Amino acid sequence: MRIATWNVNSIKQRVGHLVGFLEEAKPDVVCLQELKCQDAGMPRAEIEAAGYAVETLGQKAYNGVALLVRAPLQMSEIRRGLPGDEADEQARYIEAVITGEDATTGKAVAPLRVASIYLPNGNPVESPKYPYKLAFLERLRLHARALMAEETALVLAGDYNVIPEPEDAADPEAWRSDALFLPQSRAAFRRLLAEGFTDALRACDPRGGLYTFWDYQAGSWPRNQGIRIDHLLLSPQAADRLVSASVQKHLRGLEKPSDHVPVTVELAPA
């Protein structure tokens, strides 16, 4: 089973790129972030025409997350919003259980729970945005612990807005005071990993220079001044099935691209 995560940075502007990626990579599950539209504004017709069902949690102009599954796979037990703060109105979390048949083999797949996550950026650090980021990470850790207790294969995928280690940035010093790289952010991410998760890309490729985001400013893309902030975290049951992980870097070179690129993992049948 092929699972991808991609911050599309406005689905309406990038739907053509998305459909192209669906046709090229044929992922079974896609986790999207930063839709920047309400549910009614999601370009469902184009996505459904490509063979995918869609579930969304949208928000006007900001945030927004979605799950896409390739037929004949199906979604159930859909959760919209991260537990732990009933006052949180930001559209940053959606999860579902994936069941059905593999489109390629026709064989039934073991149930897999997948979440699409758009963690807060947290800047400026002196504002309320940074405490909100840290609180969101702690809520995610507690919710992930509860899901892990079910012992079902689980994938937490998305834009985490966390640079885990210095090798995950082309220029670590440039990020020292940024919310993405502050020690508190990285420690919170490590606490999430310590619940028993595997960083899929790092498990498959420990090299530096693997980036998933290049800013639009200062020639970051041509100079390869990237950072790795898009992650797929696997529970032990999912990690046991991990075959490969890769970054679809070439999509950053498209005309009017997202500043992020997809990251994809391949899981073997259970």
Q: Where are the domains of the chain?
A: 2-267
Annotated binding site: 7, 34, 159, 161, 259-260
Annotated binding site for Mg(2+): 7, 34, 159, 161, 259-260
- Other CB atoms within 10 A of residue 119 CB: 24
The model's pTM is: 0.97
User: What is the b/e burial string over 214-231, where b = at least 16 CB atoms within 10 angstroms of the residue's CB?
Assistant: beeeeebbeeebbbbbbb
Maximum Cα–Cα distance across the chain: 53
How open is the CA angle 201-36-19, to the nearest 5 degrees?
Answer: 60
Q: Which two tokens stand for residue 77?
A: 């037990």
Active site positions, annotated: 118, 159, 260
Give the pLDDT confidence score for residue 164 in this predicted structure.
98
Q: Which two tokens stand for residue 143?
A: 């919710």
pLDDT band for position 106 (cuts 50, 70, 90): confident
Rounded to an integer, what distance in angstroms lies between the CA atom of residue 144 and that of residue 165?
Answer: 22
What lies within 8 Å, CB to CB, of 135 at 6+ separation is 85
pLDDT band for position 203 (cuts 50, 70, 90): very high
For 2-267, CATH gives 3.60.10.10
